[in-house]
Amino acid sequence: MKIHTIDLDFLGNSEAIAAFLVETSAGVVLVESGPYSTFQTLKNKIEALGFEIADIRHLFLSHIHFDHAGAAWALAANGAKVYVHPFGAGHLANPQKLTDSARKIYLDQMDILWGDMKNIDDSLIHATADEEVIKIGDAHFKSWHTPGHANHHIAWQLEDVVFAGDVAGVSIGGGPVVPPCPPPDIHIDKWKYSISLLKKINARALYLTHFGISPFSTEEHFSQLEGTLLEYADLIKTLMKEGKNISEMTTAFNAYVNMQFSKYQFDEKQEARYQAANPAFMSVTGLMRYWSKEAGDLLTQ
Ligand SMILES: [Zn+2]
């Protein structure tokens, strides 16, 4: 089966956000839509491959964050059926709450970063059960519910490859595997469960939305991911115990990330790609929320 990685050139960065076009015996399908701000780029690149947006009758989403699902409504408006986790289905039908809370975080940057998110008709939304298999011609997409990054996360297995969304982390241009930890769902134990599940699938290739096929073996990939996830979580827990405020925590967190990146010879472009795909300040907020809400009792230990 032919899989095309489409670079959405998010904010002018190459290799920050991907969508994947899969050629099946029943036509092309898309995995991830990217945000609506890059919809025109998606359209142009699909056309450059010899297809039209309207050819896409099926869209598989890893989860409903804007960078993965923001343009889903525009594909649905062209007739695509959208496969999503049951916890995300209602938000696609009515994205008001999602856009309101994002606007509080991104303020006037909202439109530049993500663009519109509009309602999708219920008849075009398929809430996908765990381990459900969706057959499109000769392509069998298996849904694995994989919480940790988001409660509404699915990793899509297609034969021996997995489209891993964000639950398998971010690795760009041969750089390290890092976990994106935005609010509100980050949960370390759930994420560890998902990592062990994905390790068992032992995919031949992991397709990361940020960005492309992981250059590492499955074992190396997930060992980096889990190691860094636990380090990030511990760092924020320690800073919270020390009573640091959010700006002190963000400074300390950025210093930690920079130290980690300094082992790799990153140029400015490479750093910008990581920041665009996975802004550090979001991880500070996400992990603070995890420790204070989900695991508040652990802080006193
Ligand atoms: Zn993402």
Query: Can you give the CATH number for the domain in which 201 is found?
Result: 3.60.15.10
d(CA 115, CA 154): 23
Ligand 1 centre from 34 Cα, in Å?
9
Residue 271's pLDDT band (cuts 50, 70, 90):
confident
Ligand 1 centre from 183 Cα, in Å?
12
Residue 178 DSSP symbol = B
Ligand 1 centre from 234 Cα, in Å?
22
- Cβ-contact 190, 150 below 8 angstroms: no
Average pLDDT over residues 98-110: 86
Phi, psi of 162 (to 5 degrees): -130, 130
Residue 65 DSSP symbol = S
Q: For the chain, what percent of residues have pLDDT higher than 70?
A: 97
How buried is residue 100: exposed, middle or buried, by Cβ count under 10 Å (0-12/13-18/19+)?
Answer: exposed
Ligand 1 centre from 36 Cα, in Å?
14
Looking up tokens 């496969």 gives: 83
Ligand 1 centre from 195 Cα, in Å?
17
Instruction: Give the β-pairing of 58-60 and 81-84.
Output: parallel
pLDDT value at 295 more than 70: no
d(CA 186, CA 291): 9
d(CA 288, CA 151): 17
CA atoms lying within 13 Å on the CB side of residue 243: 0
Tell me which amino acid residue 170 is: V
Average pLDDT over residues 41-60: 98
Ligand 1 centre from 62 Cα, in Å?
9
Concatenated DSSP letters for 193-218? HHHHHHHHH--SEEEETTTEE-SS-H
Domain count, the chain: 1
Residue 121 DSSP symbol = -
- Cβ-contact 12, 21 below 8 angstroms: no
Ligand 1 centre from 210 Cα, in Å?
7
Ligand 1 centre from 208 Cα, in Å?
9
Ligand 1 centre from 301 Cα, in Å?
32
Ligand 1 centre from 67 Cα, in Å?
5
Phi, psi of 198 (to 5 degrees): -65, -35
* pTM exceeds 0.75, yes or no: yes
- Cβ-contact 153, 256 below 8 angstroms: no
d(CA 237, CA 229): 12
Ligand 1 centre from 66 Cα, in Å?
8
Number of neighbouring beta carbons within 10 Å of residue 69: 30
Range of the domain at 14: 2-300
Residue 267's pLDDT band (cuts 50, 70, 90):
confident
Average pLDDT over residues 69-75: 98
| Closest of 245, 247, 229, 243 to residue 287, by C-alpha | 229
Number of neighbouring beta carbons within 10 Å of residue 88: 27
Average pLDDT over residues 104-121: 89
Structure confidence by residue, pLDDT tens digits, 130-143: 999 999 999 999 99
Structure confidence by residue, pLDDT tens digits, 191-208: 999 999 999 998 999 999
Ligand 1 centre from 51 Cα, in Å?
25
